[in-house]
Structure 1
Amino acid sequence: MSTPAPDVLLADCPARSALELIADTWSVVVLVGLAHGSQRYSTLLERAGGISKKMLTQTLRRLGDAGLVARPATRGGDYRLTELGVSLLGPITALTAWAEEHAHELA
């Protein structure tokens, strides 16, 4: 007997909370920013144009709580993707490539 596929149309679908976490712009930007290796907070803030300190902090905290980003144990340390975070890079890369290719059509 096979397990039914998740139905994100249902309010109690577990995949929905995962989508809510990774579907916001800043989550994607931070994950892409960490795709090529660990980064200090200040470097992420500088590279992610337009993000406020408060939003970066909140985003890193949410991604850390979800197990996608490893936060430094001490102040001034580097943030890095966890194994779970790395596994998300394929879908995010495909999504960002699609967005770049079709941005002019969506405007």
Structure 2
Amino acid sequence: MQKEDSQIIIRRFFETIQVLKRHKVIRGKGTLCKRYGINPWNFNTLEKSPSRDLFQLAWLDYMVRDYKVSPFWLLSGEGDVLLPGWTFEKVKSVQKTCKAKEDST
């Protein structure tokens, strides 16, 4: 069972997915599940029940490393969603380049 503080971070993680989706950086949760080998059933269950012990810390790393989400924002909810110097358009452009490389291998 996740503590309430952890559940807040998990909810913010899923909020981040919605923000990325709204800005058309990703199509949705399926994009992340496919790219990172996440079980979609567990992912959806966790979104509905953040108290479940299904969350993987690596998922925060994916957000920061690949989608330039601010770790400070993910953990505290303060500041900007994206790292300084990044815009959703810039992240989207980088993602298109990454996807093209993944598709060619």
Give TM-score scaled by structure 2 length.
Answer: 0.32
Q: Whose strand proportion is higher, 1 or 2?
A: 1
Greater Rg over alpha carbons, structure: 1
Q: Which has the higher contact order (CA 8 A, sep 6+)?
A: 2
Give TM-score scaled by structure 1 length.
Answer: 0.31
Q: Whose helix proportion is higher, 1 or 2?
A: 2
